[in-house]
Structures are given as structure tokens and as C-alpha cells.
């Protein structure tokens, strides 16, 4: 009789050609997609060239997205992008996305249908865990592993233990996927899932949109996890059918699979949550913030919260209102398609009328790159994923993390607050 396995164990076993793998096993597995960006790919290219092969393992199974310092912010970033561009051309990489057709990598790949349920995906970027929302095993790796995978189509893995999160209830008011993951990280800590798989199940999934799930899976790494993964349901299949023609395979955890911990979470009780400097685990609900924290900048976007739902929520709050005098609000649609959709729906006009800056898709200030770097002593509220010391600029600056709803309301208020303070009861639509 087959031994019970979690979703992650099953995907890893399948790709390693094994009937069973257990936590701690070191395995060699075939990957379905290898991802790199303009920061990590140049290092991988140098290593790839040392291997001495004359072609990549599969030009359709590599994705390269220059999104961090693009459009080129300076000469160094221009040189890196040139190197990546020439590599993609030389090896005829099908899924190389130039500026103008690209987006933030972790929003772009699902949209382009490059990841489907059951896939094993590696990316030289820590937020590669985002695709777990689709029921795939996806995780971040280093540039050297990226180089080897581009040559061989394989990568080594240590099979992780898993933590099971059983979600029940329905989201209420302005609560979103971002609030759920900030609540979880606040509960277990930034190392609470260290090298483990965070596996999501339960009837509460029904009230989570795909955009919510991408956000939750995206921040698995902020809990120290190897990956985050959602059980596949009708919403997943509907999304995949809209975006992809690739065949997919659904892996469901066995009823008696072993988990190192099990958490049951009533999402109807979760309130909008803010992570205080300088760790994503330093969380307070909006009701627990008693002092007025005045801010200099609001950033709405990133691979965590730059999707169309995020922009719709922000626009709903900013419509007919103005960004507080003296505050900068910068909005980053995560892909060109999301940008186009936001234009069609009139969201961009709402943002500009409110006094926001709207940027082309880029990671921008999230990693302290460009397009919104903080000065000495400045405070920002961002829908991004990390708020470490100096993450968005000066070591003396501070970053708070929130959902788009809290970010948009705070841009109007001038301090960290909620749409309720603007007389908006809750996003009931």
C-alpha cells in the first residue's frame, strides 16, 4: 500500500520518477520551467557558459523576464539587460519578455499560461513560490542552479516537511489575501515555516479569488517556507482554462498525509493588517494601531499586489478623492495586460486625477531599485512583501506593509488608516 503524501511530496515524487518521497530526502527531479530575471540571469549565464554545452535543454521551458531595474535605470542595469537579451537571442529562448511586453515576472508567467497545476517550477528569484496558487510546486533557487537547470532540465531538491493551513469562513469588509498572509506570518513568525511547504486547504478557499491566492502563495518565503501551495479547485481550473493550453495534473494530498503542524484559521475573523518595520512578522490589525503614523510615500503594486483586483480596490477608494498634499503615491500595474485593463476600466484616470504617479510594470522601489527610493527618515506604506532595514532606500527609512485598500486610504488620509475612516464601510461588491 502506498504511503500517504502531501501535495508537495506528490509533485516532487512524480517529477523525480519515484513512487514515494519523504521529508528530508535529497532528490534529482525534472523541471517544467526555469525562470530568471535581469538581476539573477547574468550570473547564471556566466555559469552556464562554463558548463560547455552548446544549447539549452528546452528553449520553450525557460522564461527570462527583465523586470527589476527596467526600463534600464542606469548603465550597469543596461549592461545586465543587454547580456540577458543577447543570451535569449543566441539560444532562441521562446519566453524572453522584452520591456514593452513584459511585466513583473510572478504576475506575468501565470497570465501567459506558462505555469499550470502539477508543474515543478524553479526560479532565480525568491518569490517564485507565487505559482503555488495554481497547485504547482514552485520555489526560488540560486543562479548556479538556474544555470545547471538551463543545461540539463533538472534540479536537486530536499523534500520539505509541510504545515497544513485549513481555512474556513469568508472574508469580510476590506480584508484581502494580503491581510490573511500577514496574519499568518504574524502568528508563526518569519521563520515559522522554515524550509517547509505551506499547504492551503479548507472551505474558506471558496471566498478567495485567484488574485488573493497569488498574494498568499507569494509571501510563503516571508515565513521562511520552501513553497506555498493551494489545493486545486474550480477557480483554479477556470483560471488555467482562460490562460493556458498546457496539459495539467492535479495532485491532492492524501487524507492521512503527515504535517509538522496544522492550523485552522477562521478568515471571517481576520481584520485588515499592517506589518510594522522591520519585519513582516511585526503585525498589528488596523484596530490595534492607536497612534497616527504619518507617511511620505505609498506604493501600490509589486509581484504581491499589482494585479487587476488590487488596482480596482485602490481605485474604488481613490475615486473622487485626492492624495494628501505632500505625499507621493506611486502605482505599478504588474503587467502590460493589467495596465491595459486598468485603462479600459478608467482606473488609470482615477489614479491620475487623485494625484498618483502611474508607472510602467517594474519591481521598482520594492527592492530599493528605482522609481520611488526613500530618503533619510522617510516612511512608506507599501503593498510589497518585505520591509527589512533599507529595503526601499535609505537605511534610516521605514517601510510598513499592507493591502491595497489600506494603502489607498492612507494615501488620502496622510497617515496609516482604513477606508472606514473615509466613511467606506467595506468592499461588499
C-alpha 100: how far from chain center? 21
Euclidean distance between CA atoms 84 and 40, whole angstroms: 10
The answer for residues whose C-beta is within 8 angstroms of residue 50's C-beta and 6 or more apart is 147
Q: Which of 11, 8, 93 is nearest to 44 (CA)?
A: 93
Query: Whats the size of the chain, residue-wise?
Result: 429
User: What is the maximum alpha-carbon separation in the chain?
Assistant: 67
Q: Do the annotations mark residue 356 as ligand-binding?
A: no
Q: Do the annotations mark residue 303 as ligand-binding?
A: yes
Q: Are 420 and 338 in contact (CB under 8 A)?
A: no
Q: Do the annotations mark residue 81 as ligand-binding?
A: no
DSSP state of 375: P
The cell 503524501 sits on which residue? Answer: 5
Q: Are 374 and 392 in contact (CB under 8 A)?
A: yes
Euclidean distance between CA atoms 145 and 127, whole angstroms: 16
Q: Indicate the SS3 state at residue 308.
A: helix
Euclidean distance between CA atoms 279 and 49, whole angstroms: 38
The answer for residues whose C-beta is within 8 angstroms of residue 241's C-beta and 6 or more apart is none
**What is the rounded (10 degree) CA torsion for 29, 35, 39, 42?**
70
DSSP state of 294: B
The cell 491581510 sits on which residue? Answer: 179
Q: Which of 44, 246, 13, 14 is nearest to 151 (CA)?
A: 44
DSSP state of 415: B
Q: Are 127 and 222 in contact (CB under 8 A)?
A: no
Q: Are 60 and 31 in contact (CB under 8 A)?
A: no
C-alpha distances (whole Å) from 96 to each of 21, 107, 119, 147, 310 are: 34, 15, 20, 16, 26
- Known binding positions for [4Fe-4S] cluster: 303, 363, 366
- Known binding positions: 303, 363, 366
Amino acid at each position: 500500500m502506498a504511503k500517504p503524501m502531501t501535495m508537495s511530496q506528490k509533485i516532487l515524487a512524480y517529477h523525480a520518477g519515484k513512487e514515494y518521497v519523504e521529508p528530508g530526502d535529497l532528490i534529482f527531479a525534472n523541471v517544467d520551467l526555469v525562470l530568471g530575471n535581469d538581476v539573477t540571469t547574468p550570473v547564471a549565464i556566466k555559469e552556464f557558459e562554463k558548463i560547455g554545452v552548446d544549447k539549452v535543454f528546452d528553449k520553450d521551458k525557460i522564461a527570462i523576464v527583465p523586470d527589476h531595474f527596467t526600463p534600464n535605470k542606469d548603465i550597469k542595469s543596461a549592461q545586465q539587460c543587454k547580456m540577458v537579451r543577447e543570451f535569449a537571442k543566441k539560444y532562441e529562448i521562446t519566453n524572453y519578455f522584452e520591456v514593452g511586453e513584459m511585466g513583473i515576472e510572478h504576475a506575468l508567467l501565470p497570465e501567459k499560461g506558462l505555469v499550470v497545476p502539477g508543474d515543478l517550477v524553479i526560479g532565480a528569484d525568491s518569490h517564485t513560490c507565487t505559482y503555488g496558487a495554481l497547485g504547482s510546486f514552485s520555489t526560488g533557487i540560486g543562479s548556479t542552479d538556474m544555470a545547471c537547470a538551463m543545461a540539463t532540465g533538472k534540479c536537486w531538491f530536499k523534500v520539505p516537511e509541510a504545515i497544513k493551513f485549513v481555512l474556513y469562513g469568508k472574508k469580510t469588509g476590506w480584508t484581502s489575501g494580503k491581510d490573511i498572509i500577514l496574519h499568518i506570518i504574524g502568528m508563526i513568525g518569519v521563520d515559522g515555516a522554515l524550509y517547509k511547504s505551506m499547504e492551503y486547504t479548507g472551505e474558506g478557499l471558496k471566498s478567495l479569488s485567484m488574485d488573493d491566492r497569488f498574494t498568499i502563495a507569494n509571501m510563503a518565503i516571508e515565513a521562511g517556507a520552501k513553497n506555498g501551495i493551494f489545493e486545486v479547485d474550480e477557480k483554479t481550473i477556470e483560471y488555467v482554462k482562460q490562460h493556458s493550453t498546457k496539459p495539467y495534473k492535479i495532485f491532492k494530498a492524501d487524507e492521512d498525509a503527515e504535517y509538522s503542524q496544522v492550523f485552522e484559521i477562521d478568515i471571517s475573523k481576520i481584520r485588515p493588517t499592517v506589518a510594522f518595520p522591520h519585519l513582516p512578522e511585526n503585525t498589528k490589525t488596523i484596530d490595534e494601531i492607536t497612534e497616527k503614523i504619518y507617511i511620505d510615500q505609498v506604493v501600490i503594486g509589486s509581484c504581491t499586489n499589482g494585479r487587476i483586483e488590487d488596482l480596482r480596490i485602490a481605485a474604488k477608494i481613490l475615486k473622487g478623492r485626492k492624495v494628501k498634499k505632500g505625499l507621493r503615491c506611486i502605482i505599478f500595474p504588474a503587467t502590460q495586460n493589467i495596465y491595459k485593463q486598468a485603462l479600459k476600466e478608467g482606473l488609470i484616470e482615477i489614479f491620475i486625477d487623485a494625484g498618483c504617479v502611474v508607472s510602467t510594470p517594474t519591481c521598482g522601489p520594492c527592492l530599493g531599485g528605482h522609481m520611488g527610493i526613500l530618503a533619510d527618515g522617510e516612511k512608506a506604506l507599501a503593498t510589497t512583501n518585505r520591509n527589512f532595514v533599507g529595503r526601499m532606500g535609505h537605511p534610516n527609512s521605514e517601510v510598513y506593509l499592507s493591502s491595497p485598500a489600506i494603502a489607498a486610504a492612507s494615501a488620502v488620509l496622510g497617515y496609516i488608516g482604513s477606508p472606514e475612516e473615509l466613511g467606506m464601510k467595506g468592499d461588499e461588491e
